[in-house]
Structure 1
Amino acid sequence: MPTFDDPVADADELREAVRGLAHATRTIDDPTAIYAVLGSISSALASLSQCLHQLGEFHNGPTRKQAWMNGDANAGRAASYRESWELQRAAEMIHQIAECVDRAHEIEATIAYDVRDYPSFAPVQRSTHQPGMSL
């Protein structure tokens, strides 16, 4: 369950949730679930992009002036700048990936699946014979 105030715990939970999703999508028994899965992935990618932007902004603020590497303030500020740059780039890349997933989600909404191709979804054949009645 997300804490909404502990980034380490929430990041650990994200890792486990994505690992679980990777495991769960190895086989798709219900193709109609793909639409909902893509919608959730799309939302998660938007939040992940926002998170990376926010982490990058952390290094653009006062923290950059306070960063040190082996006692060298200039090296610390340079490293902080490079980290911010990489996080901002990653956030933009994820934003582009999210747009691709959004388009796939829209396309998925137009696909229909034939239940005959998925026996577990075929209508159950019920007998019209009622107990106690003769045939």
Structure 2
Amino acid sequence: MPTFQDPVVDGEEACQALRALAHATRSFDQPAQTYAVVGDVLGGLRSLEQVLEQLASAHTSETAIARTDDGDPWAGIEEAHAAASALRRASTLVARAGLAVDQASVHSGRIAWGTDTPAALIPLTESIAPRIDADDSFQRATGRSSFPRAVTTRPRRSGMSL
């Protein structure tokens, strides 16, 4: 149960909750359940973004007492600022992931899951699925797809930009 006051205990609990969610989402009894889980993940990402910003601030708010293991205060301050910078960068990336999950939530919310899968639709879904968002920079390059990517007229961006 969350304490709302002990970041170490609550951090461990959040880690275990995410681990349990990773295990539980290996399969769904009803595909309609995915919408609620996507919404909860979005809420979690927004909280994680805030946690990362607060951790960054904690690293720089008390630099006067920062030291390395060998007692060097200047190196301790440098490490505190480097950690804060990395945490802020992670917060920005989590915010970007939140935008993508929000977009997924919008699409997921438009689905009215039926009870049967007509056999005639199976070949159609197999040919359409690889073309959806073919130029999406968030997609992982797996190289496993046997379907050709859709041809686009605009150049594909490499990497992530903010």
TM-score normalised by length of structure 2: 0.69
Please name the residue that 1:66 is paired with: 65
Please name the residue that 2:12 is paired with: 12
Matched, 1:79 2:50: no
What are the superposed Cα offsets for residues 41-98 of structure 1, whole Å, 9 maximum, x if unpaired? 000000011001001011222x112101112111000000100001111111101001
**Higher radius of gyration, 1 or 2:** 1
Q: State the identity %.
A: 38
Distance 1:20 1:99 in 2: 24
Distance 2:37 2:13 in 1: 18
Please name the residue that 1:51 is paired with: 51
What are the superposed Cα offsets for residues 12-50 of structure 1, whole Å, 9 maximum, x if unpaired? 111111111111111111111111000000000000110
Question: Relative contact order, CA 8 A, sep 6+: which one is greater?
Answer: 1
Which blocks of at least 5 consecutive residues in structure 1 are unaligned?
A: 118-135
User: Which has the larger helix fraction?
Assistant: 1
Runs of 4+ displaced beyond 3 Å: none
Superposed displacement of residue 116, structure 1: 2.2
Which blocks of at least 5 consecutive residues in structure 2 are unaligned?
A: 118-162
Distance 1:116 1:55 in 2: 48
Instruction: Please tell me the root mean square deviation across aligned C-alpha atoms, in Å.
Output: 0.9
TM-score normalised by length of structure 1: 0.83
